[in-house]
Amino acid sequence: MNTMRCSRITSALMVAAALLAVPLIPAAATSATAPVLSSGEQQELETSYARATNEFYKKVDPQLLLDGARSGMLAYLVKAGVKNAELPPIRAAAAPGQNIRSLDAEVQAALRASGGRVAPKNLTYSAIGGMLSSLHDRWTVFLDPKEYAELNEGLDGTKFSGIGVVIDVDDQSKYLLVRQVISGGPASKAGLEPGDLILSVDGKSTKGLPVEADSKMIRGKTGTQLQLAVQRDGKALGTLPLTRQEIHAPSVFDRMLAGKIGYVALTVFGQDTARELSQALDELGKQGARAFVLDLRNNGGGYLNAAIDVASKFIPDGPIVSVESRASNVTTYDAESTAIAPRPLVVLVNGYTASASEITSGAIQDSGVGILIGTRTFGKGVVQTIYPLGDGSAIKITTARYFTPRGRDIDHQGIEPDIVSKDVRDARFGEPGHDPQLERALGYLNQRLAQGGQETSAR
């Protein structure tokens, strides 16, 4: 079970990358009583320094990184209660290997200054975090194992034991409302449909309960059963027995709206998003969809390849995005020849449409296969690469910037929609009558359909 109202912005646009093997450099000599860094911690320091120096999309001053590592450790020592902690300045050398040895020695000095009150791992993390912070790029950060796992979970979806429904509270009746039914789940197999009301779970009424309480009643151990009292269009459907199973939280939600207009909302650009979108478009196509709304509002992005895959579902050929690395090498990614039959298309965007969402939005706008309605997008025109470290942590570094097919750099500028439709507080995304931006999109598409799908000027 999942909640449809998704407002959290995914933190960054990423390109999957493997951690390259690099030789270890021995730690500097320390006193016999001082804690020492493990080979894994030395490797993390070396890898982070090398990646920040060589992969960041702008030229990096090694002295800046070393000063950042020192500042990060000093700040951590103060936070850990080490009073009057002092660390010697680090002077950058021309040879990268010497800088790594100096960095190792600085961490050892911090360990000695702590008097054994802090763990080598924590000082390693603070040094890496300080180095990346010194680059003054909000997207270039260190991720501890928990943060990295949460980032992956947010992009690739969680798994939970439930019945496969997206729920809300019905405004009028205050009962549990089914917003979406996940294909292949127990609810789908039992015949539940969007708009159904679940009056009770195992005899306990859902009326007046918040979504969180409803969720706790529906979730449970895989293989256990529950009984749902369901109502549809004011008529009782009786009590339905369901068996909980493991559910993968989807990133794509779809439904058919009045006038045979297919609505598809993406919450993130994850590993499975393109596949889920293909399934949704196929199903809506079988139902006779004459036009589509692609809702990318509040979608903070995800994987670059997912953005290319999604855009390729609507753009038959030509460029999707161009990516420029630090060495001014430009790689242009073209459509993948997977586009559906052309239909009138609107993409809904707002100020939280960012990163991979902007790649897809910009490509659709530049190619002319659809128009954008809403408000100016976030304006994140740079690409990050994730480099996993050996202990489950990772570093995320801005490694390139991107341009739309027409060469637009949207970083810090965003994309201006073809038709501006202001955000409305408390709008219920995806619900005609409660979503003015969607209503504007439907009005435009109905006009297009009435004109036989011919192009009209929206600017």
Instruction: Tell me which residues are annotated as active site.
Output: 355, 366, 380
In angstroms and rounded to an integer, the radius of gyration of the C-alpha atoms of the chain is 26
In whole angstroms, give the CA distance from residue 422 to residue 124: 46
Q: How many Å is the maximal CA-CA distance in the chain?
A: 83
* Long-range contacts, stretch 181-188, CB < 8 angstroms, 24+ apart: 182/2, 182/247, 182/250, 183/279, 183/283, 185/245, 185/247, 186/242, 186/243, 186/244, 186/245, 187/163, 187/242, 188/164
Other CB atoms within a 10 A radius of the CB of residue 331 amount to 11
Other CB atoms within a 10 A radius of the CB of residue 368 amount to 10
What CA–CA distances, in Å, run from 440 to 240, 267, 293, 445, 456?
A: 38, 21, 11, 9, 15
Burial class (CB in 10 A: 0-12, 13-18, 19+), 279: middle
Q: How many Cα atoms occupy the beta-carbon half-sphere of 121 within 13 Å?
A: 8
Other CB atoms within a 10 A radius of the CB of residue 78 amount to 12
DSSP-based helix, strand, coil % in the chain, nearest 5: 30, 25, 45
In whole angstroms, give the CA distance from residue 360 to residue 295: 11
Q: How many Cα atoms occupy the beta-carbon half-sphere of 27 within 13 Å?
A: 23
Give the torsion sign (CA, 418, 420, 423, 429): negative
In whole angstroms, give the CA distance from residue 228 to residue 205: 10
CA 15 to chain centre: 12
Contact criterion met (CB below 8 Å) for 351 and 377: yes
Q: Which amino acid is at 59?
A: K
